[in-house]
Amino acid sequence: MKYKIFVDGQFGTTGLKINEMLKNRSELELLTISEEEKKDIEIKKKFLNEADLVFLCLPDAASKESVALITNENVKIIDASTAHRTNPEWTYGIAEITPTQREKIKNSKRVCVPGCHASGFIMAMKPLIENGIVLKSQKIVCHSITGYSGGGRALIDAYEDPANKGKFDSQRPYALGLSHKHLPEMKHVLGLESAPFFTPSVGNFSQGMLVMSYLIKDELSKKVSKDEVISIYKEYYKGEQFVKIIENDIEYLDDGFLNAMNCNNTNTIEISVYDSEDYMLVISRLDNLGKGASGAAVQNMNIMLGLDEKLGLNI
C-alpha cells in the first residue's frame, strides 16, 4: 500500500526539507502542487482531502485555514506551525516525553510538531520534573543558539547574500521583548507555573543548535549530583534511539568547546550535563531542521502510519 502525502507549504524551509526526506520512500506517494495552483483554494482543498496524511508547513493563520478546508475525516494532519501546540485537541509531537506519548501520536489524527527551542528545553527538563528534582513552581533560565536556517527563507537569504559579508559574524540575540513564540508550549507541556526566562540567539551558521538550561542547586527540591542526573536521563530515555545521553563530557567536548552543528542532518538529540558547587547546566544539542523541525515531523508521520519509526531518518 502506498500512502498519499501532501505537504502544504512545500516551498518553505521546513516543507522543502520534508520533501527531500520523503522523495525516495517507495511506500509513499507525494502529491505535488505548483506555485500557481497553491493560490487556488479549490485545487488546494482537493489535495488536502485526497491525502492520507498532510504536513502543514505554513504560518499560523494559514495553517488554521488549511485545517478548516479538510472535510475528509480520515486525513491525518501534522502541523509544523505554532498554531496548535497548546491546543488539548492536538497531540504534542515528542514521542519520547512520556511512556504513553508515542501511543497517543499513533492514535491521533492531529499532531503538532514542537518548536526547535522548545524541544531542547522540554526534553532536558521533563525527566527532572517527573523525578521531583525541578519543581513546576520553579523559575528556570534558558538560552539557545540556533543556525540561521531556523528563521526561514528571508533570514537564509540575508545571511547568504554576498552583499552582507561580515555583517552577521557575531552571535545575535533576538526576541528581546522576552516573549518568544515557543514560550507558551514550554510552559504548557511541562506544566510550569511560570514560563522560563528564555533568550534565543542566531549564530553565523546554517544548521544546528544548542539549548542551554540553567539550574541553581539551592533551588532544586533534592540534592543531586551530576552523575545522579545523568543516571536519571539514562533511565528516562532508555531505549529511545533518537536520544543520546552523554556520560563523558571530556571526550564529548572539542578541547573544552561544544560545537552546535555536530547533530546536523540527523534526528538525534544529545543531552549533556555540567556542574559546579552551586550551579548545574543541561545542554541539548540537535539539528534545528532535524529533531527541531522536519525530522520530528517525519518521525511523527512514521508513527501515525504504523511504519518503522526510523525510516528516512539518520541517527
Domain ranges for the chain: 3-114+293-304, 116-288
Q: Which of 57, 116, 142, 263 is catalytic?
A: 116
Q: What is the mean pLDDT of residues 239-250?
A: 96
> So what's the pLDDT on residue 10?
83
- C-alpha–C-alpha distance, residues 176 and 172, integer Å: 11
- C-alpha–C-alpha distance, residues 56 and 306, integer Å: 20
Out of 3.40.50.300, 3.30.530.20, 3.30.420.40, 3.40.50.720, the CATH code matching 3-114+293-304 is: 3.40.50.720
Does pLDDT of 12 surpass 90?
no
H or E, element range at 281: strand 279-286
The mean of the pLDDT values for the chain is: 96
pLDDT digits (tens, 9 = 90+) for 159-175: 999 999 999 999 999 99
> So what's the pLDDT on residue 33?
84
Report residue 163: phi and psi, to 5°: -65, -20
pTM of the predicted model over 0.75: yes
pLDDT digits (tens, 9 = 90+) for 276-297: 999 999 999 999 999 999 999 9
The class of domain 116-288 in CATH terms is alpha beta
> So what's the pLDDT on residue 37?
79
Sign of dihedral through CA atoms 284, 285, 290, 292? positive
What is the percentage of the chain residues whose pLDDT exceeds 70?
A: 100
Closest CA to 303 of 120, 94, 144: 94
Is residue 96 helix, strand or coil? coil
Does pLDDT of 35 surpass 80?
no
- Whether 116 is a known active-site residue: answer yes
H or E, element range at 26: none
Closest CA to 75 of 110, 42, 101, 40: 110
Does pLDDT of 73 surpass 80?
yes
Cell 527538563 belongs to residue: 125
